[in-house]
Amino acid sequence: MKTLALKSVARSEYGKKAAKALRREGLIPCVIYGGGEEITFAISEKEVKPLIYTPSSYIVEIEINGKAEKAVLREVQFHPVREQILHIDFYRVIPGKPVAIALPVRLTGNAEGVKVGGKLSLAVRKLVVSALEENLPDEITVDVTPLQVGQTIFVGDLNIEGLKFLSPATQAVCAVRVTRASREGDAAAQ
């Protein structure tokens, strides 16, 4: 799993007034929780851009008061109109305990159904999984080669060693949809 290092500033004041003052300085109020202790801090907007505006998932190493904390991004709150980041929640990674994280899905191969005129569609871009930090892959790779027209791959069909899927087993990952061209191809074959 890829890691991203962030530098932070400790926060001592709380509340709406203190948060607005931080945002005026170009900082984002943040909190890290899990493992019993909760720490509040602030991070520069420029620091978090590579973490938030990307399809990838990261384990984040946050330096708080000279101490490094490993965490995963849990939630980002945006302003409803300006799309400014208002607040970020991180969840601490505890060694030896599983981590829940959303990983991106990447499709590989050329589906058989696409060759006869079907259309491959990706139903979900990220899946939530749980695993130990050392077992987390950068992405979930799904081979679509055997898919025929009208077939779907569900989360329950995926089996990756060391990963437990937290997304529902009935959730579709990808499918080859019927198109007009594939219907005409079937009619010509009969």
Give CA torsion, residues 21, 88, 84, 82, to 10 deg.
Answer: -110
CA distance 175 to 173: 7
Q: Which pTM does this prediction carry? A: 0.79
Please give the pLDDT value at position 190: 56
Mean pLDDT score, 70-93: 88
- Say whether pLDDT at 189 is over 60: no
d(CA 122, CA 109): 13
97-155 pLDDT, tens digit each? 998 888 999 999 998 888 888 888 999 999 999 999 888 888 999 999 998 888 899 99
Measured in Å, how far apart are the chain's first and last C-alpha atoms? 49
Split at pLDDT 50, 70, 90, the class of 181 is low
Give the amino acid at 4: L
Distances (CA, A) of 47 to 25, 34, 64, 92, 165: 14, 23, 14, 19, 30
116-136 b/e (C-beta count within 10 Å ≥ 16 → b) = bbbebeeeeeebbbebebeeb
Closest among 73, 71, 74, 75 to 94, alpha carbons compared: 71
Give the CATH superfamily of 100-189: Ribosomal protein L25, C-terminal domain (2.170.120.20)
Q: Is the pLDDT of residue 65 over 70?
A: yes
**For residues 31 and 52, what is the distance between their CA atoms, to the nearest angstrom?**
16
| Fold that domain 3-94 belongs to in CATH | Ribosomal Protein L25; Chain P (2.40.240)
pLDDT the model gives residue 116: 84
Domain ranges of the chain: 3-94, 100-189
Summary mean pLDDT of the chain: 86
Percent of the chain topping pLDDT 90: 21
